[in-house]
């Protein structure tokens, strides 16, 4: 048997590299979203222009419209912005005061909270039958110690007190006599009522906390422009929640100035015929009933009420 030498044939197969059809979005801005209840509300208001993925284990959510989004602890956002790694973020005005961080630009304030389109307020509450504990200092619980010290000092309370750090079950700690009073943030006051507490007279609105976008002062022009775009989208979406559009036909002889309808500048009016004009106005949702009745009484026809996608005053 004749053994033939083993021949190894190497075929050269060309490998073609192609560019992805998906454009790579350059990041201009590193923005921090808060965790907790404020985060989902913020995401909701930014959609559909900004659809932000959930964060990975590092807190990174992804790059959307030229912005790197991160989700980090809401209380530490001002501290993170003191570093060189982030440009801007959203936090509450109470948390900014608690952090002691200064020299930040406030880009905008947006009045909304977890469950409504209005900001939250800090109140001082006690049991309905509370009696001051003699010479002992009143024990006031609060989760934000520095913030509480600043606000309570401004209030000039007529009794001595000691601020006790707490981290949950605020109203219950007063109800079950762990604390004498609680300095707490609330939207509607329902939890305070449910735990049989009373807000101390004069302490119903010791501080109004609003979400705000804050930024480092040394960010680039490109980052600042992206931040303005994000801010406009957020403000527009929040504003739309409390506005409606009203369209109708009105008799031409109606003098709109005499109706005193709410509008940012003036209603939009288009002459249709000599007898009729088309009328469009954007009004606060709370004025809907009054405006509809007023239009009907003045001969309006074909009244249409529409929701608003966005609104900037």
Q: What is the pLDDT along the chain (313 residues), one digit of tens a residue?
A: 444 444 334 344 444 434 444 445 567 899 999 988 778 888 889 999 999 999 999 999 999 999 999 999 988 999 999 999 999 999 999 999 999 999 899 999 987 755 555 678 999 999 988 888 778 899 999 999 999 999 999 999 988 999 999 988 889 999 999 999 999 998 877 889 888 899 999 999 999 999 999 999 999 999 999 999 999 999 999 889 889 999 999 999 988 788 888 877 677 888 888 899 998 989 999 999 999 999 999 999 999 999 999 998 8
CATH tag, 243-307 = 3.30.70.120
What's the pLDDT at 20? Answer: 40
- CATH class for the domain made up of 29-116+210-240: alpha beta
Q: Are 166 and 173 in contact (CB under 8 A)?
A: yes
What's the pLDDT at 217? Answer: 94
Q: Are 33 and 71 in contact (CB under 8 A)?
A: yes
How do beta strands 301-307 and 67-72 pair? unpaired
pTM of the model as a whole = 0.78
What's the pLDDT at 67? Answer: 95
Task: Give the CA distances from residue 301 to residues 248, 274, 288, 297, in Å, rounded to whole numbers and listed in that order.
Answer: 6, 15, 16, 10
SS3 state of residue 41:
helix
What's the pLDDT at 117? Answer: 58
Structure tokens at 121: 């307020």
d(CA 234, CA 213): 10
* Alpha-helix residue ranges (DSSP H) falling in the chain: 38-46, 77-80, 93-99, 145-155, 170-175, 190-194, 221-240, 256-259, 288-297
β-bridge partners, 69: 31, 62
What's the pLDDT at 3? Answer: 47
Give tens-digit pLDDT for 238-297: 889 889 999 999 999 988 788 888 877 677 888 888 899 998 989 999 999 999 999 999
Reading phi first (left if > 0) and then psi (alpha if -120 to 50, else beta), residue 134 is in left
Q: Are 109 and 96 in contact (CB under 8 A)?
A: no
What's the pLDDT at 259? Answer: 83
Q: Which helix (H) or strand (E) holds 121?
A: strand 120-127
Q: Which residues contact 202 (CB under 8 A, 6 or more apart)?
A: 155
Q: Which residues contact 101 (CB under 8 A, 6 or more apart)?
A: 78, 79, 81, 82
Structure tokens at 20: 């992805």
3-state helix, strand and coil shares in percent for the chain, rounded to the nearest 5: 25, 30, 45
Residue 293 CA to its chain's centroid (Å):
33
β-bridge partners, 216: 104
| Axis crossing angle, helix 221-240 with helix 38-46, rounded to the nearest 10 | 90
CATH tag, 120-209 = 3.40.190.10
Q: Which part of the chain has CATH 3.40.190.10? A: 29-116+210-240, 120-209
Instruction: State residue 97 phi and psi, 5-degree precision.
Output: -65, -40
What's the pLDDT at 136? Answer: 86
């Amino acid at each position: 048997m004749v053994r033939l030498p083993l021949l190894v044939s190497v075929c050269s197969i060309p490998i073609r590299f192609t560019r992805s059809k998906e454009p790579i979005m350059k990041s201009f801005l590193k923005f921090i979203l808060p965790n907790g209840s404020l985060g989902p509300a913020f995401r909701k208001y930014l959609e559909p222009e900004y659809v932000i993925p959930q964060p990975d284990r590092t807190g990174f959510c992804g790059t959307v419209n030229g912005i790197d989004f991160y989700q980090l602890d809401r209380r530490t956002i001002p501290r993170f912005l003191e570093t060189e790694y982030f440009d801007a973020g959203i936090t509450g005005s109470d948390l900014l005061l608690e952090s002691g961080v200064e020299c930040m630009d406030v880009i905008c304030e947006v009045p909304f909270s977890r469950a409504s389109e209005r900001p939250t307020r800090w109140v001082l509450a006690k049991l309905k039958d509370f009696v001051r504990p003699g010479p002992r200092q009143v024990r006031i619980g609060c989760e934000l110690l520095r913030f509480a010290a600043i606000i309570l000092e401004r209030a000039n309370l007529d009794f001595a007190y000691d601020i006790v750090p707490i981290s949950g079950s605020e109203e219950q700690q007063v109800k079950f006599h762990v604390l004498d009073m609680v300095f707490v943030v609330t939207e509607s006051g329902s939890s305070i009522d449910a735990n049989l507490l009373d807000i101390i007279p004069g302490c119903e609105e010791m501080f109004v906390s609003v979400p705000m976008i804050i930024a480092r002062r040394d960010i680039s022009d490109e980052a600042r422009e992206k931040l303005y775009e994000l801010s406009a989208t957020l403000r527009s979406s929040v504003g739309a929640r409390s506005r409606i559009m009203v369209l109708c036909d009105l008799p031409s002889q109606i003098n709109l100035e005499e109706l005193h309808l709410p509008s940012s500048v003036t209603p939009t009016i288009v002459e249709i015929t000599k007898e009729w004009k088309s009328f469009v106005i954007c009004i606060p949702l709370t004025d809907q009933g009054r405006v509809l009745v007023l239009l009907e009484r003045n001969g309006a026809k074909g009244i249409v009420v529409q929701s608003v996608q966005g609104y900037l005053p």
